[in-house]
Amino acid sequence: MRVLVAMSGGVDSSVVAGLMARAGHEVIGATLQLYDQGRSLARGRTCCAGSDIDDARRAAATLGIAHYVIDAEARFAETVIGRFADAYAQGETPVPCIACNQGVKFTDLLGMARELGCDAMATGHYVRRVDGPGGAELHRPRDAARDQSWFLAATTRDQLDYLRFPLGDYPDKATVRAEAAGLGLDIADKPDSQDICFVPDGDYAALVGRHRPEALEGGEIVDREGRVLGHHEGIARYTIGQGRRLGPAAMVAGERQAVIEVDAPRRRIVVGPRGHAGRDRLALRAMNWLIPVPPATGLEAEVQLRANETPRPARIVPGDGGAAEVELAEPALAAPGQACVIYAGGRVLGGGFIAAAPPAGLTRSTT
């Protein structure tokens, strides 16, 4: 089998390339150069630029596989960085890793793999792909601490059929590092990437300001009734549930406050008592189902609203035009722009993005 492996220069993807080669497959390594290499050299916990490309090239040489570097800077700047800044300027909290997966990785790179005549594309993500009775299924990995299924919920059924995730059955990162050492890779002890890769200094608000200056313009902090409680230094610095940067608005009438809305058109941050700031109904857009679309009566399952939170019971009602409504068993803080991923146990059933208001075409069951 000919397999293209997406190699970021990290331990995980390098091990995947080694496992595929050891299994006797014809392996082609491909590394996407996503952003300015020079800015990444000062920080060693990013990916896909600077020394990471050299690490990927060296790993491929050690494994004896072909390796190519693809210049994807312009595409990445448009589909990930630009949209990241736009989302904050619109009062949303984006998930750039999902945008990257569904843009340059699982669309462009996967398309290139098909053009090269590859039978599959493999990555170092920690998820499991299971061949079920209805086709390929996406499941949580064995190592719960490294679960990346939330970030891959936008993967389509066609993409999932083509993808392979060899690390999903590994028990922990120590085992993966031991595998890297056994393959002779000199990056076996390389630290994991943890930053937003295109913000090497960690100051995402400054990046948003360079692309969308209005997102850092000051404005009012108000309560639900519109009473001014304080002032802020840019809506890009706030997300739903946040209690920091509120100044005198952090405590009102003895109650701790939290952000409950980012009103981008009026550059207002709306706060309310933290204990009463949640919602029990959410509108979703851009739904991606990994199962047949449920009936109009809805589906009882669990949903995860943030990358590291515990799933919660909910009823999901599909709508028209890629919309859906989520009825939560209990109110929760939900930020527009974040993903809402639907699970049945460890299996991902689908996911969409939380909308600020019900999108056009949403229908609700009356039964």
Taking the C-alpha atoms of 162, 166, 172 and 173 in order, what is their torsion angle to the nearest 10 degrees? -90
13 is in an annotated binding site: yes
11 annotated among ligand-binding-site residues: yes
Question: Is 320 annotated among the ligand-binding residues?
Answer: no
| 14 annotated as a binding-site residue | no
CA-angle at 64, arms to 113 and 112, nearest 5°: 10
Please give the helix or strand (H or E) that residue 326 lies within, else none. strand 324-332
Is position 182 annotated in a ligand binding site?
no
Asked if residue 275 belongs to a known ligand binding site, the reply is: no
Residues contacting 169, CB < 8 A, separation 6+ = 128, 141, 142
Cα 36 from Cα 47, distance rounded (Å): 11
40 is an annotated ligand-binding site residue:
no
Estimate to the nearest angstrom the gap between the alpha carbon of 250 and the chain centroid.
Answer: 30
Residue 123 contacts by C-beta under 8 Å, 6 or more apart in sequence?
Answer: 5, 6, 13, 16, 105, 163, 164, 165
Could you say which of 47, 100, 118, 340 is catalytic?
A: 100
Residues 9 and 93: their CA atoms lie apart, in Å, by 28
- Concerning whether 97 is annotated as a catalytic residue, the answer is no
Would residue 47 show up in a list of annotated catalytic residues for this protein? Answer: no
Q: Does the annotation flag 69 for ligand binding? A: no
Exposure string for 284-300, b = 16+ CB within 10 A, e = fewer: bbbbbbbbeebeeebbe
Q: Which of 47, 48, 118, 197 is catalytic?
A: 197
- Annotated binding-site residues read 6-13, 32, 124
Enzyme catalytic residues: 100, 197
- Annotated binding-site residues for ATP read 6-13, 32, 124
